[in-house]
Protein backbone atom coordinates (compact mmCIF):
# COMPACT_ATOMS: atom_id res chain seq x y z
CA UNK A 1 0.00 0.00 0.00
CA UNK A 2 1.36 3.41 -1.02
CA UNK A 3 2.30 5.68 1.87
CA UNK A 4 0.31 8.90 1.99
CA UNK A 5 2.08 11.95 3.39
CA UNK A 6 0.10 14.92 4.66
CA UNK A 7 0.93 18.34 6.01
CA UNK A 8 0.36 18.74 9.78
CA UNK A 9 -2.85 20.57 10.66
CA UNK A 10 -2.23 24.26 11.41
CA UNK A 11 -2.90 25.50 14.91
CA UNK A 12 -2.99 29.15 13.98
CA UNK A 13 -5.56 30.38 11.52
CA UNK A 14 -4.47 30.59 7.92
CA UNK A 15 -5.51 33.70 6.00
CA UNK A 16 -7.90 33.17 3.11
CA UNK A 17 -9.11 36.70 2.48
CA UNK A 18 -12.43 36.11 4.23
CA UNK A 19 -14.92 38.95 4.55
CA UNK A 20 -14.68 39.97 8.20
CA UNK A 21 -16.60 42.38 10.37
CA UNK A 22 -15.54 44.68 13.16
CA UNK A 23 -16.79 42.17 15.73
CA UNK A 24 -15.71 38.96 13.99
CA UNK A 25 -12.36 37.24 13.52
CA UNK A 26 -11.33 34.03 11.82
CA UNK A 27 -11.69 30.75 13.68
CA UNK A 28 -10.90 27.20 12.55
CA UNK A 29 -12.88 24.04 13.33
CA UNK A 30 -11.99 20.50 12.24
CA UNK A 31 -13.60 17.43 10.67
CA UNK A 32 -11.71 14.26 11.68
CA UNK A 33 -11.97 11.19 9.43
CA UNK A 34 -10.74 7.64 9.73
CA UNK A 35 -10.86 7.09 5.96
CA UNK A 36 -9.95 9.12 2.92
CA UNK A 37 -12.77 11.05 1.24
CA UNK A 38 -12.37 11.89 -2.43
CA UNK A 39 -12.26 15.68 -3.00
CA UNK A 40 -15.03 15.41 -5.60
CA UNK A 41 -17.30 13.69 -3.09
CA UNK A 42 -16.42 16.23 -0.42
CA UNK A 43 -17.29 19.08 -2.77
CA UNK A 44 -20.69 17.50 -3.55
CA UNK A 45 -21.49 17.05 0.14
CA UNK A 46 -20.75 20.70 0.89
CA UNK A 47 -22.84 21.67 -2.16
CA UNK A 48 -25.78 19.85 -0.56
CA UNK A 49 -25.66 22.61 2.07
CA UNK A 50 -24.09 25.46 0.07
CA UNK A 51 -24.81 25.08 -3.68
CA UNK A 52 -22.04 27.48 -4.72
CA UNK A 53 -19.27 25.61 -2.89
CA UNK A 54 -16.40 24.91 -5.30
CA UNK A 55 -12.69 24.11 -5.26
CA UNK A 56 -10.40 27.08 -5.69
CA UNK A 57 -7.34 24.86 -5.33
CA UNK A 58 -7.66 21.10 -5.59
CA UNK A 59 -5.52 18.92 -3.32
CA UNK A 60 -2.49 17.96 -5.41
CA UNK A 61 -0.63 14.66 -5.41
CA UNK A 62 3.05 14.17 -6.18
CA UNK A 63 5.42 11.25 -5.88
CA UNK A 64 8.18 11.76 -3.30
CA UNK A 65 10.59 8.94 -2.39
CA UNK A 66 8.08 6.23 -3.22
CA UNK A 67 5.28 7.88 -1.27
CA UNK A 68 2.39 10.13 -2.32
CA UNK A 69 2.56 13.61 -0.87
CA UNK A 70 -0.81 15.36 -0.79
CA UNK A 71 -0.73 19.16 -0.77
CA UNK A 72 -3.77 20.78 0.92
CA UNK A 73 -6.50 22.24 -1.26
CA UNK A 74 -8.97 25.07 -0.67
CA UNK A 75 -12.74 24.63 -1.07
CA UNK A 76 -14.56 27.97 -1.09
CA UNK A 77 -17.88 27.53 0.71
CA UNK A 78 -18.89 31.19 0.93
CA UNK A 79 -17.32 34.64 0.98
CA UNK A 80 -16.68 34.16 4.69
CA UNK A 81 -15.86 30.46 4.94
CA UNK A 82 -13.44 27.97 3.36
CA UNK A 83 -12.65 24.30 3.86
CA UNK A 84 -8.99 23.36 3.46
CA UNK A 85 -6.94 20.21 3.74
CA UNK A 86 -6.56 17.32 4.13
CA UNK A 87 -4.04 17.46 6.96
CA UNK A 88 -2.24 15.05 9.23
CA UNK A 89 -3.99 15.01 12.66
CA UNK A 90 -0.97 16.66 14.29
CA UNK A 91 -0.43 20.36 14.86
CA UNK A 92 2.50 22.40 13.67
CA UNK A 93 4.11 24.45 16.45
CA UNK A 94 5.42 26.98 13.97
CA UNK A 95 3.55 29.96 12.58
CA UNK A 96 0.92 29.21 9.92
CA UNK A 97 3.00 30.88 7.23
CA UNK A 98 5.70 28.25 7.76
CA UNK A 99 3.32 25.29 8.01
CA UNK A 100 4.20 23.90 4.61
CA UNK A 101 7.87 23.57 5.55
CA UNK A 102 7.31 22.09 9.01
CA UNK A 103 9.31 18.95 9.68
CA UNK A 104 8.34 15.97 11.81
CA UNK A 105 10.20 17.28 14.85
CA UNK A 106 8.09 20.48 14.70
CA UNK A 107 4.86 18.64 15.45
CA UNK A 108 3.02 17.71 18.63
CA UNK A 109 -0.37 16.23 19.56
CA UNK A 110 -3.12 18.60 18.51
CA UNK A 111 -5.10 20.21 21.36
CA UNK A 112 -8.34 19.13 19.66
CA UNK A 113 -7.43 15.59 20.81
CA UNK A 114 -8.54 13.76 17.70
CA UNK A 115 -9.83 10.25 18.34
CA UNK A 116 -7.56 7.24 18.01
CA UNK A 117 -7.66 5.98 14.44
CA UNK A 118 -8.08 9.41 12.85
CA UNK A 119 -6.15 9.30 9.59
CA UNK A 120 -6.72 12.85 8.33
CA UNK A 121 -8.54 16.05 9.16
CA UNK A 122 -10.17 18.80 7.13
CA UNK A 123 -10.20 22.34 8.50
CA UNK A 124 -13.12 24.76 8.25
CA UNK A 125 -12.09 28.39 8.64
CA UNK A 126 -14.96 30.81 9.11
CA UNK A 127 -15.86 33.96 11.02
CA UNK A 128 -16.22 33.75 14.78
CA UNK A 129 -19.69 35.07 15.60
CA UNK A 130 -21.06 34.19 19.04
CA UNK A 131 -24.21 35.20 20.86
CA UNK A 132 -25.74 34.47 24.24
CA UNK A 133 -25.17 31.31 26.26
CA UNK A 134 -27.75 28.57 25.63
CA UNK A 135 -30.79 28.39 27.89
CA UNK A 136 -30.47 25.44 30.31
CA UNK A 137 -32.94 22.60 29.99
CA UNK A 138 -33.61 22.72 26.25
CA UNK A 139 -33.05 19.92 23.75
CA UNK A 140 -29.53 19.52 22.40
CA UNK A 141 -29.55 16.74 19.80
CA UNK A 142 -26.46 18.11 18.02
CA UNK A 143 -24.56 18.85 21.22
CA UNK A 144 -24.02 22.50 20.32
CA UNK A 145 -25.32 23.78 23.67
CA UNK A 146 -22.68 21.67 25.40
CA UNK A 147 -19.88 22.61 23.02
CA UNK A 148 -20.64 26.33 22.93
CA UNK A 149 -21.73 26.66 26.55
CA UNK A 150 -20.27 30.17 26.86
CA UNK A 151 -22.02 31.55 23.78
CA UNK A 152 -23.81 29.91 20.86
CA UNK A 153 -22.59 30.62 17.32
CA UNK A 154 -24.79 32.91 15.23
CA UNK A 155 -25.18 33.89 11.58
CA UNK A 156 -22.37 32.61 9.35
CA UNK A 157 -20.60 30.59 12.02
CA UNK A 158 -23.87 28.90 13.02
CA UNK A 159 -24.54 27.91 9.40
CA UNK A 160 -21.05 26.44 9.07
CA UNK A 161 -21.04 24.73 12.47
CA UNK A 162 -24.36 22.97 11.85
CA UNK A 163 -23.13 21.91 8.41
CA UNK A 164 -19.95 20.47 9.94
CA UNK A 165 -21.97 18.46 12.47
CA UNK A 166 -24.26 17.23 9.68
CA UNK A 167 -21.27 16.21 7.57
CA UNK A 168 -19.70 14.39 10.53
CA UNK A 169 -22.98 12.54 11.08
CA UNK A 170 -23.21 11.55 7.40
CA UNK A 171 -19.59 10.34 7.20
CA UNK A 172 -19.43 8.72 10.64
CA UNK A 173 -16.72 11.23 11.57
CA UNK A 174 -16.02 13.64 14.43
CA UNK A 175 -16.24 17.42 14.57
CA UNK A 176 -13.85 19.45 16.73
CA UNK A 177 -14.67 23.05 17.55
CA UNK A 178 -12.52 25.93 18.70
CA UNK A 179 -15.30 26.83 21.11
CA UNK A 180 -13.50 28.71 23.88
CA UNK A 181 -11.26 31.77 23.71
CA UNK A 182 -7.62 30.63 23.88
CA UNK A 183 -5.86 31.69 27.11
CA UNK A 184 -3.07 33.30 25.10
CA UNK A 185 -2.86 35.23 21.85
CA UNK A 186 0.22 33.17 21.06
CA UNK A 187 -1.87 30.43 19.46
CA UNK A 188 1.03 28.06 18.89
CA UNK A 189 1.45 27.56 22.64
CA UNK A 190 -0.69 24.54 23.40
CA UNK A 191 0.20 23.72 27.00
CA UNK A 192 -2.96 25.40 28.34
CA UNK A 193 -5.18 24.86 25.31
CA UNK A 194 -6.56 21.44 26.22
CA UNK A 195 -9.99 22.87 27.04
CA UNK A 196 -10.06 25.18 24.03
CA UNK A 197 -11.40 22.48 21.69
CA UNK A 198 -14.60 20.53 22.29
CA UNK A 199 -15.65 17.56 20.21
CA UNK A 200 -18.67 15.62 19.09
CA UNK A 201 -19.10 12.36 17.21
CA UNK A 202 -22.71 12.44 15.98
CA UNK A 203 -24.56 9.14 15.75
CA UNK A 204 -25.38 8.44 12.07
CA UNK A 205 -28.35 6.34 13.22
CA UNK A 206 -29.99 9.42 14.73
CA UNK A 207 -30.86 10.68 11.24
CA UNK A 208 -33.89 8.44 10.79
CA UNK A 209 -36.34 10.43 8.68
CA UNK A 210 -36.33 10.48 4.89
CA UNK A 211 -37.94 12.83 2.38
CA UNK A 212 -38.75 11.98 -1.24
CA UNK A 213 -38.98 14.92 -3.64
CA UNK A 214 -40.82 14.02 -6.82
CA UNK A 215 -42.95 15.45 -9.61
CA UNK A 216 -45.38 12.52 -9.29
CA UNK A 217 -48.57 12.94 -7.23
CA UNK A 218 -50.12 9.86 -5.64
CA UNK A 219 -53.80 10.14 -4.79
CA UNK A 220 -54.73 9.16 -1.22
CA UNK A 221 -56.06 5.70 -2.09
CA UNK A 222 -52.91 4.78 -4.01
CA UNK A 223 -50.62 6.14 -1.29
CA UNK A 224 -52.49 4.22 1.41
CA UNK A 225 -52.21 1.00 -0.57
CA UNK A 226 -48.46 1.44 -1.07
CA UNK A 227 -47.92 2.11 2.63
CA UNK A 228 -50.06 -0.86 3.72
CA UNK A 229 -47.92 -3.25 1.68
CA UNK A 230 -45.11 -2.43 4.11
CA UNK A 231 -47.15 -1.73 7.26
CA UNK A 232 -50.66 -3.21 6.94
CA UNK A 233 -52.08 -1.20 9.86
CA UNK A 234 -51.28 2.21 8.36
CA UNK A 235 -54.33 4.48 8.24
CA UNK A 236 -55.17 7.98 7.14
CA UNK A 237 -54.38 10.69 9.65
CA UNK A 238 -57.59 11.96 11.27
CA UNK A 239 -58.81 15.33 10.04
CA UNK A 240 -58.49 18.23 12.46
CA UNK A 241 -62.23 19.06 12.82
CA UNK A 242 -65.11 16.87 11.60
CA UNK A 243 -67.69 18.75 9.53
CA UNK A 244 -71.11 18.81 11.25
CA UNK A 245 -73.22 20.23 8.47
CA UNK A 246 -74.30 23.77 7.58
CA UNK A 247 -74.48 26.34 10.33
CA UNK A 248 -77.67 28.20 11.15
CA UNK A 249 -77.23 31.52 9.28
CA UNK A 250 -79.67 33.25 11.59
CA UNK A 251 -76.96 33.43 14.27
CA UNK A 252 -75.27 36.07 12.12
CA UNK A 253 -78.46 38.16 11.93
CA UNK A 254 -78.92 40.71 14.66
CA UNK A 255 -82.55 41.56 14.09
CA UNK A 256 -82.59 44.06 16.88
CA UNK A 257 -80.20 46.12 14.75
CA UNK A 258 -81.47 45.16 11.28
CA UNK A 259 -84.90 45.76 9.78
CA UNK A 260 -85.49 42.43 7.93
CA UNK A 261 -88.81 40.96 6.98
CA UNK A 262 -89.69 37.30 7.50
CA UNK A 263 -89.48 36.77 3.71
CA UNK A 264 -85.94 38.20 3.62
CA UNK A 265 -84.79 35.98 6.47
CA UNK A 266 -86.29 32.90 4.76
CA UNK A 267 -84.52 33.88 1.53
CA UNK A 268 -81.18 34.07 3.36
CA UNK A 269 -81.78 30.59 4.81
CA UNK A 270 -82.58 29.16 1.38
CA UNK A 271 -79.46 30.72 -0.17
CA UNK A 272 -77.26 29.33 2.62
CA UNK A 273 -78.76 25.85 2.23
CA UNK A 274 -78.20 25.96 -1.53
CA UNK A 275 -74.57 26.97 -1.04
CA UNK A 276 -73.99 24.04 1.36
CA UNK A 277 -75.63 21.56 -1.06
CA UNK A 278 -73.38 22.72 -3.89
CA UNK A 279 -70.29 22.45 -1.67
CA UNK A 280 -71.18 18.86 -0.77
CA UNK A 281 -71.86 17.89 -4.39
CA UNK A 282 -68.61 19.38 -5.72
CA UNK A 283 -65.53 17.20 -5.11
CA UNK A 284 -62.65 19.39 -4.00
CA UNK A 285 -59.29 17.91 -5.02
CA UNK A 286 -57.09 16.88 -2.09
CA UNK A 287 -53.84 18.87 -2.06
CA UNK A 288 -52.25 17.37 1.07
CA UNK A 289 -52.86 14.45 3.39
CA UNK A 290 -51.12 12.19 5.84
CA UNK A 291 -50.81 8.55 6.83
CA UNK A 292 -49.96 7.23 10.27
CA UNK A 293 -48.79 3.98 11.83
CA UNK A 294 -49.30 3.76 15.59
CA UNK A 295 -47.15 1.18 17.37
CA UNK A 296 -48.04 -0.53 20.64
CA UNK A 297 -45.17 1.17 22.46
CA UNK A 298 -46.62 4.61 21.70
CA UNK A 299 -44.19 5.53 18.91
CA UNK A 300 -45.63 6.52 15.55
CA UNK A 301 -44.50 6.67 11.93
CA UNK A 302 -46.06 9.31 9.72
CA UNK A 303 -46.12 9.89 5.98
CA UNK A 304 -46.97 13.49 5.09
CA UNK A 305 -47.72 14.16 1.44
CA UNK A 306 -48.19 17.53 -0.20
CA UNK A 307 -46.71 20.16 -2.46
CA UNK A 308 -43.72 22.17 -1.33
CA UNK A 309 -41.69 25.18 -2.38
CA UNK A 310 -38.88 24.43 0.06
CA UNK A 311 -36.26 22.21 -1.53
CA UNK A 312 -32.85 21.24 -0.17
CA UNK A 313 -30.07 23.31 -1.73
CA UNK A 314 -28.90 20.38 -3.87
CA UNK A 315 -32.25 20.30 -5.73
CA UNK A 316 -32.83 23.99 -6.21
CA UNK A 317 -32.91 24.83 -9.89
CA UNK A 318 -33.23 21.27 -11.27
CA UNK A 319 -35.34 21.08 -14.43
CA UNK A 320 -37.93 18.55 -13.29
CA UNK A 321 -38.80 20.63 -10.21
CA UNK A 322 -39.79 23.68 -12.24
CA UNK A 323 -43.43 22.58 -12.59
CA UNK A 324 -43.87 21.86 -8.89
CA UNK A 325 -42.61 19.33 -6.38
CA UNK A 326 -44.44 16.81 -4.24
CA UNK A 327 -42.89 16.04 -0.86
CA UNK A 328 -43.24 12.61 0.75
CA UNK A 329 -41.96 13.09 4.31
CA UNK A 330 -41.55 9.81 6.21
CA UNK A 331 -40.88 10.35 9.91
CA UNK A 332 -40.47 8.43 13.14
CA UNK A 333 -41.74 10.18 16.29
CA UNK A 334 -41.04 8.39 19.59
CA UNK A 335 -43.39 8.76 22.51
CA UNK A 336 -40.71 10.25 24.80
CA UNK A 337 -39.82 13.48 22.98
CA UNK A 338 -37.56 14.71 25.78
CA UNK A 339 -35.40 11.61 25.51
CA UNK A 340 -35.43 11.93 21.71
CA UNK A 341 -33.95 15.45 21.87
CA UNK A 342 -30.99 14.51 24.08
CA UNK A 343 -27.51 14.43 22.59
CA UNK A 344 -27.22 10.82 23.79
CA UNK A 345 -30.70 9.27 24.15
CA UNK A 346 -31.41 6.38 26.50
CA UNK A 347 -30.40 2.85 25.54
CA UNK A 348 -34.07 1.85 25.31
CA UNK A 349 -34.82 4.57 22.76
CA UNK A 350 -31.74 3.72 20.70
CA UNK A 351 -32.74 0.05 20.72
CA UNK A 352 -36.25 0.85 19.50
CA UNK A 353 -34.83 3.27 16.94
CA UNK A 354 -33.06 0.40 15.19
CA UNK A 355 -36.39 -1.22 14.46
CA UNK A 356 -38.04 1.98 13.26
CA UNK A 357 -35.12 2.89 11.01
CA UNK A 358 -35.86 -0.21 8.97
CA UNK A 359 -39.58 0.63 8.82
CA UNK A 360 -38.83 4.14 7.57
CA UNK A 361 -36.43 2.79 4.95
CA UNK A 362 -38.93 0.18 3.78
CA UNK A 363 -41.61 2.84 3.38
CA UNK A 364 -39.15 5.11 1.59
CA UNK A 365 -38.22 2.33 -0.81
CA UNK A 366 -41.90 1.56 -1.51
CA UNK A 367 -42.84 5.18 -2.21
CA UNK A 368 -39.70 5.82 -4.25
CA UNK A 369 -40.50 2.85 -6.49
CA UNK A 370 -43.84 4.51 -7.27
CA UNK A 371 -42.71 8.12 -7.60
CA UNK A 372 -38.96 8.23 -8.44
CA UNK A 373 -37.37 11.60 -7.74
CA UNK A 374 -34.66 12.21 -5.12
CA UNK A 375 -34.26 11.01 -1.53
CA UNK A 376 -32.95 13.37 1.14
CA UNK A 377 -32.35 13.18 4.87
CA UNK A 378 -33.16 15.96 7.31
CA UNK A 379 -29.62 17.35 6.95
CA UNK A 380 -30.19 17.98 3.24
CA UNK A 381 -27.87 15.22 1.93
CA UNK A 382 -29.08 13.14 -1.01
CA UNK A 383 -29.09 9.36 -0.70
CA UNK A 384 -28.72 6.65 -3.30
CA UNK A 385 -31.95 4.58 -3.49
CA UNK A 386 -29.83 1.46 -3.96
CA UNK A 387 -28.56 1.89 -0.39
CA UNK A 388 -32.07 1.50 1.07
89 close to 110: Cβ distance less than 8 angstroms: yes
Cα radius of gyration rounded to whole Å, the chain: 28
Domains held by the chain: number? 3
Give the pLDDT of the chain (388 residues) as one tens digit per residue.
Answer: 567 778 888 766 666 767 666 556 889 999 999 888 899 999 999 999 999 999 999 998 887 777 778 889 999 999 999 999 999 887 654 333 333 333 333 445 566 678 778 888 999 999 999 999 888 877 888 999 999 988 999 999 999 999 999 999 999 999 999 888 654 444 444 444 556 788 999 999 999 999 999 999 999 999 999 999 999 999 998 865 444 444 554 444 444 444 667 776 677 667 766 765 665 566 566 688 999 999 988 899 999 999 998 888 888 878 888 878 999 999 999 999 889 999 999 999 999 999 999 999 999 999 999 999 999 999 999 998 888 7
What per-residue confidence (pLDDT) applies to 116?
79
The CB-side HSE value for 56 (13 A sphere, CA atoms) comes to: 13
- pTM of model > 0.85: no
What per-residue confidence (pLDDT) applies to 239?
64
9 is a domain residue:
yes
The CB-side HSE value for 73 (13 A sphere, CA atoms) comes to: 17
What per-residue confidence (pLDDT) applies to 96?
36
Expressed as residue numbers, the domain containing 255 is 249-281
CA distance 352 to 349: 5
Same domain, 176 and 233: no
What per-residue confidence (pLDDT) applies to 300?
94
What per-residue confidence (pLDDT) applies to 255?
42
Same domain, 225 and 271: no
Of the candidates 281, 303, 335, which is a domain's last residue?
A: 281
46 close to 83: Cβ distance less than 8 angstroms: yes
Of the candidates 281, 300, 332, which is a domain's last residue?
A: 281
CA distance 129 to 21: 10
3-state percent helix, strand, coil for the chain, nearest multiple of 5: 30, 30, 45
Secondary structure (3-state) at 189: coil
243 is a domain residue:
no
What per-residue confidence (pLDDT) applies to 154?
94
Could you please report the per-residue DSSP string of 233-257? T-EEPPPSS-------GGGG--TTT
Same domain, 314 and 344: yes
244 is a domain residue:
no
Query: CB within 8 A of 251, min separation 6: which ones?
Result: none
Would you say the C-alpha torsion 371, 372, 377, 380 has a positive or negative sign?
Answer: negative
Mutual angle of helices 39-47 and 155-171, in 10-degree steps: 130
Same domain, 197 and 262: no
Same domain, 44 and 61: yes
Same domain, 183 and 301: no
Length of the chain: 388
Secondary structure (3-state) at 343: coil
Same domain, 214 and 193: no
Same domain, 225 and 366: yes
CA distance 164 to 194: 21
What per-residue confidence (pLDDT) applies to 386?
86
Same domain, 75 and 90: yes
Could you please report the per-residue DSSP string of 293-307? EE-TTS-EEEEEEEE
Angle at CA 324, nearest 5°, toward 321 and 330? Answer: 85
Same domain, 187 and 117: yes
Amino acid sequence: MTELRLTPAPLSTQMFGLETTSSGREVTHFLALQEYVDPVDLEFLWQCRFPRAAWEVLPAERQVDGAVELTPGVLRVSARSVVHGPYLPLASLVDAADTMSASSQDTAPHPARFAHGTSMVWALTTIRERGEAPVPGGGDRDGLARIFAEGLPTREELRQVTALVALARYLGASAHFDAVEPPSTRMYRIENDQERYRSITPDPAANVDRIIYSDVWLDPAAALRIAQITLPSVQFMPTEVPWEGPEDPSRFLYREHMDLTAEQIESIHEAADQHDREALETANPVSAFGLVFEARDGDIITVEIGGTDELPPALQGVDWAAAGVIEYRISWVPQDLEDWHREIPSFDLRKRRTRYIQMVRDLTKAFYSATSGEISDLDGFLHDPAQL
